[in-house]
């Protein structure tokens, strides 16, 4: 995702969170219903969409644009492993406690000033987690 300006956004129970202008990667899961979960996240607020997950609040903010969705279908939950890989990448920052209220991760949202570097880190995170078939969709 691209956030077009520095801003603070109210993120549910996290409260107000500062977001820098730049690029963000969110790591989530949907073991059953991947396509439906992606469609739900991409749906505009007001189209019977209740803000539930942290990412819903971020995406509902004006000036946040989805650039690409990267996904894979797996039998196991891999999101925490991928998030841990992204946490270790140089040049990438995390947004504390975002998207990880049901696990012990530091974050599931990562920031970079470079779209290409962040995209490469995401793909590498998938591959380093043993996922070789990664799909994407540009927007």
pLDDT: which is higher, 131 or 48: 131
Backbone angles phi, psi at 97, to 5 degrees: 70, 10
pLDDT band of residue 45 (cuts 50, 70, 90) is: low
Domain limits, the chain: 2-138
Rounded to 5°, angle at Cα 18 from 14 and 23: 110
Query: What dihedral angle (degrees, nearest 10) is formed by the CA atoms of 68, 73, 76, 78?
Result: -20
61-100 tens-digit pLDDT = 888 999 999 999 888 899 999 999 999 988 789 999 999 9
Rounded CA gap, 69 and 26, in Å?
A: 9
Task: Note the pTM of the prediction, 2 decimals.
Answer: 0.92
> Is pLDDT at 13 greater than 60 in this prediction?
yes
Predicted local distance difference test score (pLDDT) of residue 48: 65
């Amino acid at each position: 995702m691209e956030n077009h300006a520095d801003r603070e956004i109210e993120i549910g129970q996290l409260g107000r969170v500062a977001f820098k202008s730049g690029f963000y990667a969110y790591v989530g899961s949907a073991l059953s219903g991947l396509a439906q979960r992606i469609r739900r996240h991409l749906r505009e607020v007001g189209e019977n969409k209740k803000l539930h997950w942290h990412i819903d609040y971020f995406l509902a903010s004006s000036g946040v644009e989805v650039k690409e969705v990267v996904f894979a279908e797996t039998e196991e939950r891999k999101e925490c492993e991928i998030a841990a890989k992204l946490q270790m990448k140089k040049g990438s920052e995390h947004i504390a406690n975002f998207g990880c209220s049901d696990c012990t991760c530091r974050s599931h949202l990562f920031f970079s000033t470079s779209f290409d570097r962040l995209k490469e880190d995401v793909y590498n995170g998938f591959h380093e987690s043993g996922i070789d078939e990664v799909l994407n969709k540009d927007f």
